[in-house]
Structure 1
């Protein structure tokens, strides 16, 4: 599908300033979506810091120490979390309301196996940089393999998605300084994402012998290390490819088109209607976007009461020209977008 080349083609015909602004927004959007997948609503500062970490993916060699550093960064307040490789069992699922014992959907690798498994994961990531394997396939294998191992007490999901960025960046798959916000289509396709994760966990779970500990954790009783060394990643690679395709074919062009339309709208409002400050034009654009291109009665009588009736009509006409309606298939893909 040549998705990496297609992304470079889109950005190659775009003004560098627009590319820079699009890259900054997509980075924050990916950070926010990654937290939302985990059911978290981070502070702006925490979201920004994790966005910066995503933007730096691929700049350092993959190593366990680097993943631990990122774990501390993504968690923020680590007073109540054991950083580094787990020393106890790990699982995902629900708890019995009476006993608080685990009802697992997934049981993670045994703590005694983590050091060896993570050495293997790091080595796999390094070796794929020297092969001709498609980077999206390599990213799927490494990132989903990591999340099945679940080596940390907390932060595994966001680091799992960070590894996708790391592999793609090391392979030069995405354009320079531009991150594919793969967490955004993952969030839109959250049910499919969860089914892909369960596709392997559900096969492994019946093979794991375990019992609940006094601390309401799990203790694995049999040898399970090979379940986390080898897995069929076909469904995972197909899913990730679909997310990358959405990013390249829809999200990236859409963000570029939005910024180009915004710049044109801003210029023409100042030239043809009124000489407004940038922040006022931004507010005007937001009101129009919220009301499908029509300035609401509230905006006309409060924030923009100084505009005449003719000026309001001209502003709405300019908005319609600069921001044409999206094609139905594009709108369908973006139905779950977060508000700008």
Structure 2
């Protein structure tokens, strides 16, 4: 493997800490190796291998590895927390005393106290330039809240209770530069308002069917109506609280026999559920006793970003660096891009799996809620993200599996007879930090791609279809006195298939002659072509 060590090499940075202390935590994304040879980089699907010449090797000890990590690597908070516990406070206290103004020592000091909730035996810092905990060239961060004790700007994108991280990648830079929110708003603004309303009403139904289909469920009737109503009234939803999430979950379930009173109090798992201990397990969520602290952490994470958005943490004196500005939404109140916040919240929710059922649907509901709440979409507008996910289910599964595959080797568990004729999962070790601190980069990139496709393909196509349908119907009505419902069916069939097939002719339009059908088809096709914009133009108004 590309990160296999040769005889004169050793791991440095966070991989060095993991190797040194034998930590049972996922490998860091960036694996640094020091030794003979030149500076080299090698990109793998789940790792970035960085080889450094021996001149970068400043010592074969824990503090040297920690300093290397903070200086050169995107930080992995779960790994650092485990390393801090393993090394104890004394080495870090000695380092800060030796380098009281050093930014790497002060950043490590802050992280130790922030992650462990334990105060080091050190006086408050009095010297040293204020710097961010995260390097904005390597990881996305909030506009920092000052920590006077450490002379550090806390730009972490969560709290100790839940704090994912997001690496700055070339893909994310390209996606961020597209300004998808502006694209969506322009697409909607350029279309006729009534046409937008009709398209959005259809998208609500389409999104409902798609989100249930992702759970392999064919939804219809009152159950579909309840989910559509929840989407349409999501501005009234309280997605951050246990009560609000429970109410939403019960609304979607609809059957009082299966409603719940709050977050789960038993262990669940994702897999194939059989009546013996041969169940196939794909993913094990947190233990029931950890759900509350993680979900309160999610609530605090959302509050952090809302506070940042509302300028409560801001000081006019500090200017943003280009790296920081790139990941903050434009306007008078810069904050982390809504798509990033949306991915953090929605995927953290589904990874925690706070309910025994319905987590996937609520996870996708949160996407819609957050996009509107943080100003990505205008009020009442839904971007058909679930439709994109359904169209490429494998990509959606891969986004989920990037997380589950990374943590499953570190969960000790066994089957136990549940006393009800089946078996249940029992988790044996403390796993909370696996869900509390994770690299959300794959999920953020994935959601960006979904939203991009949903805007450029699905939303655009729905607006265009409404315009095509309107013009086609007018063209048909100019030639025929066909009843409304029959005329609408005729237009839909021609727009979708280009013509009326023989079977459809006989079943739905037996009264029409072949000559009439051909003439009507040609009129609808011409209307459709007139209503179809060039690829880079906005959909027509329908007039």
Taking structure 2 as the reference length, the TM-score comes to: 0.57
CA offsets, 1:174-205, max 9 Å, x none?
A: 12321111100011111111111011111111
1:140 equivalent in structure 2: 343
Give the conservation status (yes or no) of the 8 Å contact 2:472–2:525: no
- Any conservation in 1 of the 2:249–2:358 contact (CA below 8 Å)? yes
- Residue 300 of structure 1: which of 492, 496, 505 is its match? 505
The answer to whether structure 1 residue 63 and structure 2 residue 241 are counterparts is yes
Give the one of 190, 194, 202 matched to 2:393: 190
Structure that is richer in helix per residue: 1
Mapping of residues 144-293 of structure 1, within 5 Å: 144-215=347-418, 216-271=423-478, 273-289=479-495, 292-293=497-498
Alignment equivalent of 1:44, drawn from 221, 227, 237: 221
Paired residue secondary structure (2:417) = coil
Deviation per CA, 1:46-69, whole angstroms, max 9, x where unpaired?
A: 112102212222434432110000
Deviation at 1:81, TM superposition (A): 5.8
Aligned residue for 2:269?
A: 91
Partner of 1:84: helix, strand, or coil? coil
| CA deviation string 1:178-237 (max 9, x = no partner) | 111110001111111111101111111111111212111111111111111111110101
- SS of the residue corresponding to residue 443 of structure 2 reads helix
DSSP-derived class of the 1:93 partner: strand
Whole-Å Cα distance in 1 between the matches of residues 274 and 248 of structure 2?
A: 32
Structure having the higher Rg: 2
Of the three residues 16, 23, 29, the one matched with 2:200 is 23
State the secondary structure of the residue aligned to 1:307. coil
For 1:69 and 1:15, the matched residues in 2 are separated by: 36
Deviates more, 1:83-92 or 1:199-208: 83-92
Gaps (5+ residues) in structure 2? Answer: 1-177, 309-334, 536-543
Q: Relative contact order (C-alpha < 8 Å, sep 6+): which is higher?
A: 1
User: Could you tell me which residue of structure 1 aligns to residue 304 of structure 2?
Assistant: 127
Q: Which residue of 2 aligns with 1:8?
A: 185
Which of 293-302 and 207-216 deviates more? 293-302
Work out whether residues 195 and 467 of structure 2, in 8 Å CA contact, stay in contact via their aligned partners in 1. Answer: yes
Q: Where in structure 2 are the equivalents of 1:298-337 lying within 5 Å?
A: 298-324=503-529
Q: CA deviation at 1:96?
A: 6.1
- Check whether the contact 1:81–1:154 (CA below 8 A) recurs between aligned residues: no
Contact preservation (8 Å) 1:102, 1:217: no
Q: CA deviation at 1:268?
A: 1.3
1:117 to 1:320, Cα distance in 2 relative to 1, 3 A: same
Report the alpha carbon displacement of residue 127 of structure 1 after superposing the two structures with TM. Answer: 2.3
User: What's 2:293 paired with?
Assistant: 116
Instruction: Decide whether the 8 Å contact of 2:208 with 2:228 is kept in 1.
Output: yes
Q: Give the Cα separation in 2 of the matches to 1:297 and 1:60.
A: 49
Q: Is the 8 A contact 2:399 2:446 kept in 1?
A: yes
Provide the C-alpha distance between the structure 1 equivalents of 2:258 and 2:475, rounded to a whole number of angstroms.
53
- Distance in 2 (CA, whole Å) between partners of 1:202 and 1:254 is 36
CA apart distance, 1:303: 2.8
Once the two structures are superposed, what CA deviation does each residue of 1:303-327 show, in whole Å capped at 9, x if it has no partner?
Answer: 3233344322221112222334989
TM-score by length of 1: 0.90
CA distance in 1, matches of 2:528, 2:374: 35
Tell me if the contact between 2:468 and 2:495 (Cα under 8 Å) persists in the aligned partners: no
Q: Is the 8 A contact 1:46 1:76 kept in 2?
A: yes
- Specify every segment of 5 or more residues in structure 1 that has no aligned partner in the other structure, as ranges: 330-340
In the alignment, is the contact (CA less than 8 A) between 2:388 and 2:453 conserved in 1? yes
Tell me the CA shift for residue 76 of structure 1.
Answer: 2.0
